[in-house]
A and B are shown apart, each in its own frame.
Chain A
């Protein structure tokens, strides 16, 4: 199985569109209010390239180990579709001596615990199309509504070689890519639609199927998995997989055939006569290189040295910029970095998944996690309670000590109170007591029941000791 990806990522740190001064801050705005003659394609208007977009593209190229072209051009990609008001998209393509802004390159990432490298084919700049809305779904809607606020937003297209071998690899690669782009500060993947993806997939013995319209990285794995199951089913029935383009329907979570008749040559690419060539000098490249911030791989190395984390932890944490930031903030406040890493990669991640939020949007602040860990170290709460506290903090945004106080979750260390609970448990489970008197290993049942009776608040070691003491007294007494 071979999977290749085409990633479209908006350069969200730009204030304006790629070829006009319209604001790029279009999300949640009234439709068609951030438009001008250039991005509406009105006759007589002329595009002028955003210099910052070129700089950001070069920085991305450097971060992804690509070769930056000394001279690059824009071309027109011609097609008739309502998302492009000009009936062409200004893009870059290797045609007639024109080359994309960067080519080659690679990204290294972890899949589970295995290291993998995927090569990149090229990177190019292009404009985002407008946004289409349907009444219901694309295949049943009687009309199409168009909002051109997004039309003309600077997009970077990153094309991989078809070297990914499983949906999970695609996800891990995209996660790493997103982290690199976020460390560079060029693109915020948390913004809706900022990072989108087309995937092509071919299974042994079948044609190449392209899946378009995957509007979030999370859906890539889903769409690919769906396609693999669909194609394998067809192959099993003896149906040959045709080369085709399909559309990902994120509502129904299926792909449907687009029956696209356009092929690459039908886009009739030609050089955009309204834009000049762009020359990128070696000095400019070096200047931008000198301004590059710390990237995930370098940060990972620092995590190994500065915090003494195992390589796996360092890689996982730096594969998500917000997660790495959170870790460092928390490690400043609490001096056991490994414990912070464990909690982040374990319970915190689990909570984030079930709440379906990213860590930078979660109600858990670094100081809250640090505070919770300190409460645990001081013995104020048990680990069992700590897990419950974490959930409360993440759901309601209250500080751990507030949660513990309000819920009265302090650890029970008072001997008399604990002995009371234990006496109750012994009374309720006489059979278990008899067993424990004979076979010491079964004592865990009684400890478990006491923990349960206290809602996890009992000090486990103290409980253990008190139960043993009580049992040995009983033995002596008999």
Chain B
């Protein structure tokens, strides 16, 4: 059953992993491909519902226009701002090279 309805290929899993900058082992790629497809199989069930004429729900709450005034609030104290940084250099967060 699972193999007969493939929604997502292994290549797509590799691409999504790359987008998330994750390195996956071959076993993980197989596992996630299977899991993604199982999840999407389940979503297929929802497609059985007739939604003709039902407007898409963009938001589950009825709330609109939740605003804040343009007033300055205190920021984090310096020592707290960088407290969770895996790497820092002086007052900066440090990240790996980009290109």
Give B32-69 interface residues, CB cut-off 8 Å to A: 56, 58-59, 61, 63-69
Dominant SS at the B interface? loop
Docked-complex contact A148 and B93, CB < 8 angstroms: yes
Does A384 belong to the interface (CB within 8 Å)?
no
Does B76 belong to the interface (CB within 8 Å)?
yes
Closest 8 CB pairs of A and B: A21-B73, A82-B95, A51-B67, A145-B92, A52-B70, A48-B68, A146-B93, A31-B91
Chain A: interface size category: 35 or more
Chain A contacts for B19, CB-based, 8 A:
78-80, 262, 266, 268
* Docked pose: A144 CA to B87 CA in angstroms: 11
Chain A positions 67 through 78: 1 when the CB is less than 8 Å from some CB of chain B, otherwise 0: 000010100001
* Docked pose: A144 CA to B92 CA in angstroms: 9
Chain B contacts for A266, CB-based, 8 A:
15, 19
Docked-complex contact B70 and A16, CB < 8 angstroms: yes
* Docked pose: A42 CA to B90 CA in angstroms: 21
Give A92-140 interface residues, CB cut-off 8 Å to B: 96-98, 132-133, 138-139
Q: Which of B71, B96, B99 is A21 in contact with, Cβ under 8 Å? A: B71
Does B72 belong to the interface (CB within 8 Å)?
yes
Docked-complex contact A51 and B70, CB < 8 angstroms: yes
Chain A contacts for B91, CB-based, 8 A:
30-33, 147
* Docked pose: A16 CA to B70 CA in angstroms: 6
Does A50 belong to the interface (CB within 8 Å)?
yes
Docked-complex contact B78 and A32, CB < 8 angstroms: yes
Docked-complex contact A15 and B56, CB < 8 angstroms: no
Q: Add 4 more A-B contacts to A15-B71, A36-B75, A278-B64 (CB < 8 A).
A: A133-B92, A144-B96, A146-B94, A268-B19
Does B20 belong to the interface (CB within 8 Å)?
yes
Count chain A CB atoms within 10 A of each CB in B18, B59, B93 and give the residue with the most. B93
Chain B contacts for A148, CB-based, 8 A:
93
Docked-complex contact A144 and B70, CB < 8 angstroms: no
Does B98 belong to the interface (CB within 8 Å)?
yes
* Docked pose: A37 CA to B18 CA in angstroms: 27
Chain B contacts for A40, CB-based, 8 A:
76, 81
Does B84 belong to the interface (CB within 8 Å)?
yes
Does B8 belong to the interface (CB within 8 Å)?
no
* Docked pose: A15 CA to B95 CA in angstroms: 29
Does B21 belong to the interface (CB within 8 Å)?
yes
* B65 shortest CB reach to chain A, Å: 6
If A50-B68, A51-B67, A82-B98 touch, does A22 touch B93 (CB 8 Å cutoff)? no
Docked-complex contact B56 and A97, CB < 8 angstroms: yes
Does B82 belong to the interface (CB within 8 Å)?
yes
* Docked pose: A277 CA to B68 CA in angstroms: 14
Closest to B21 in A: A80
* Docked pose: A147 CA to B71 CA in angstroms: 22
If A48-B66, A54-B67, A143-B89 touch, does A23 touch B95 (CB 8 Å cutoff)? no
Does B97 belong to the interface (CB within 8 Å)?
yes
Chain B contacts for A48, CB-based, 8 A:
66-68
* Docked pose: A97 CA to B67 CA in angstroms: 22
* Docked pose: A52 CA to B70 CA in angstroms: 6
Q: What are some 20 contacts across the A-B interface (CB < 8 A)?
A: A23-B75, A31-B92, A35-B81, A36-B76, A48-B66, A79-B19, A80-B20, A81-B98, A142-B97, A143-B89, A143-B97, A145-B92, A145-B94, A146-B92, A147-B91, A147-B93, A259-B99, A266-B19, A276-B61, A278-B65
Closest to B92 in A: A145
If A35-B76, A36-B75, A97-B56 touch, does A49 touch B94 (CB 8 Å cutoff)? no
* Docked pose: A146 CA to B95 CA in angstroms: 7
Q: Which of A16, A50, A82, A268 is B93 in contact with, Cβ under 8 Å? A: A82
* Docked pose: A138 CA to B98 CA in angstroms: 7
If A32-B91, A80-B19, A266-B19 touch, does A276 touch B66 (CB 8 Å cutoff)? yes
Docked-complex contact B92 and A32, CB < 8 angstroms: yes
Closest to B82 in A: A32
Q: Which of B73, B89, B98 is A20 in contact with, Cβ under 8 Å? A: B73
